[in-house]
Amino acid sequence: MINLILFGPPGSGKGTQAKNLVRRYELLHISTGDLFRYEMGNDTPLGLKAKSYIEKGQLVPDEVTIGMLKNKVDANPKVKGYIFDGFPRTVPQAEALDKLLKGKGQEVTALLALDVDDEEIVTRLLERGKTSGRKDDSNESTIRNRIEVYKSETTPVFDYYAKSDKSQMIKGLGLIPTIAKRLYRVIDKLK
Ligand code: AMP
């Protein structure tokens, strides 16, 4: 099994690249952002709880996020591996993921971080906001808040997995297929 964390700031291309990786490696893509948007779209209690945080560009509390992630993993046991996209975003989430996988005799294989600078992110997200219908993409101050949250709460997750030599930085600028090839080169060596 191969379990990847696709890491990087909002707008770094995680979702786009995850789609390529799913095809090539037959992994299950789990995006906590997508799961929250599904819940919000259906006005579920979980969706309603998450909504106020998401619209402000804040993180949804760990216990809510971890519970949702666990349900998704437990509901899909017969897979060749997972691509976690947008999770873990805090060190307690990383610890919970390690525990969850350990209970299944598994572990995180690698964390691959897409490196994109702040101004490029703001440009990309404002552009995406024109068509995505996502409130958190259409307001520049919300976008900048998400970048700050990423720096303060999420980058420690890179260091957490670097301790076991699992974290790698990948240049996230360039054409989509070029970035995909950079990822393939690293992942092919993991298998
Ligand atoms: P994303 O689509 O990954 O950019 O996520 C959109 C929003 O959902 C984030 O800005 C957070 O408010 C929330 N979210 C997604 N994943 C997580 C997570 N792992 N922990 C906390 N909040 C999350």
Domains in the chain, ordered, with CATH? 2-190 (3.40.50.300)
Mean confidence (pLDDT) of the chain: 96
Active site residue 146: yes
**Ligand 1 centre distance from Cα of residue 147 (Å):** 12
Yes or no: say if 40 and 50 are a contact pair by the CB < 8 Å rule.
yes
111 Cβ closer than 6 Å to some ligand 1 atom = no
Q: What SS3 state is found at 170?
A: strand
* Residue pLDDT, tens place only, 6-26: 999 999 999 999 999 999 999
Which ligand 1 atom lies nearest to the CA of residue 61?
21
* Residue pLDDT, tens place only, 34-87: 999 999 999 999 999 999 999 999 999 999 999 999 999 999 999 999 999 999
| pLDDT reported for residue 26 | 94
**Ligand 1 centre distance from Cα of residue 156 (Å):** 16
**Ligand 1 centre distance from Cα of residue 143 (Å):** 12
| pLDDT reported for residue 100 | 98
> Which of the residues 56, 72, 124, 134 is marked catalytic?
134
86 Cβ closer than 6 Å to some ligand 1 atom = yes
Active site residue 14: yes
- Spatial strand order of the sheet with 82-85 comes to 28-31, 82-85, 4-7, 110-115, 167-171
| pLDDT reported for residue 117 | 96
DSSP letter, residue 34: H
Q: What is the dihedral of CA 128, 140, 156, 86, to 10 degrees?
A: -30
Per-residue pLDDT for 191 more than 80?
no
Yes or no: say if 18 and 184 are a contact pair by the CB < 8 Å rule.
no
Q: What SS3 state is found at 83?
A: strand
| pLDDT reported for residue 114 | 98
Averaged pLDDT, 88-93: 98
- Residue 164, CA distances (Å) to 58, 150, 161 in order: 29, 21, 6
Q: How far apart are CA 159 and CA 70, in angstroms?
A: 23
Provide the percentage of residues in the chain whose pLDDT is more than 90: 97
Q: What SS3 state is found at 18?
A: helix
Task: Give the closest residue (by CA) to ligand 1 atom 15.
Answer: 33
Active site residue 128: yes
10 Cβ closer than 6 Å to some ligand 1 atom = yes
**Ligand 1 centre distance from Cα of residue 158 (Å):** 17
